[in-house]
Amino acid sequence: MSIVLLYIGCLMLVGVALFHGVMGQKILISPLLQQRAGMMDEEMPRTMIQFGWQVTTILTLLPALYLFLVASGDTTGSPTMIFTIGLSFVGMGLANAVMTRLKHPGGFVLTATGLVVLLSLYI
C-alpha cells in the first residue's frame, strides 16, 4: 500500500470538497437562491437546497479523513474500504462525465481522485 498515494488521494478529496463548497455556492447555489419563482419563493426548499449542497461537501471530507488516518498510521487500513472509496469516486466521476457530456470538470477530477486511491492499493 502506498502511503504517498494515500496522502495524495486525501489532498485531492479535500480539494474537491473545498472547490465544491466554495465555487458551487458561488456559481450554482447563490444564483439559484436569488430566484423567487415557484417553490423557490418558500423558505423551506431554499434552506434544504443550501443544506443539501453543503452536506455533500462535508461528506466528501469523511473518506479524506479515513485516508489520512490510514496514511499516518493512526488506524489500520482496510483494503476493502480503500477500494470502495476509490471505486466510488471513479464511478461518480464517470457518471458526471457521461451526464454532462464532458462539459463539467468534475468528471475528470473525481475519476482521477478515485484512480489515485485505487492505485494506492497496488503500488
- pTM for the full model? 0.91
pLDDT 10s digits, 14-30: 999 999 999 999 999 99
The pLDDT value given to residue 44: 94
13-52: b or e for each residue (b if 16 or more CB lie within 10 Å)? bbebbeebbeebbeeebeeeeeeeeeeeeeeeebeebeee
**Cα torsion angle, 66, 69, 72, 78, sign:** negative
The pLDDT value given to residue 71: 97
Q: How many CB atoms lie within 10 A of CB 60?
A: 22
- Distance between CA 17 and CA 67 in Å, rounded? 14
Q: Which of 58, 49, 57, 56 lies closest to 29 in space, CA to CA?
A: 49
Nearest 10 degrees: Cα torsion 79, 82, 85, 88 = -40
pLDDT 10s digits, 41-55: 999 999 999 999 999
Residue 108 makes CB contacts below 8 A (sequence gap 6+) with: 93, 97
- Distance between CA 50 and CA 45 in Å, rounded? 9
The pLDDT value given to residue 9: 98
Average pLDDT of the chain, as a whole number: 96
Instruction: Please say if the pLDDT value at position 75 is more than 90.
Output: no
Instruction: Please say if the pLDDT value at position 76 is more than 90.
Output: no
- Maximal CA-CA distance, the chain: 53
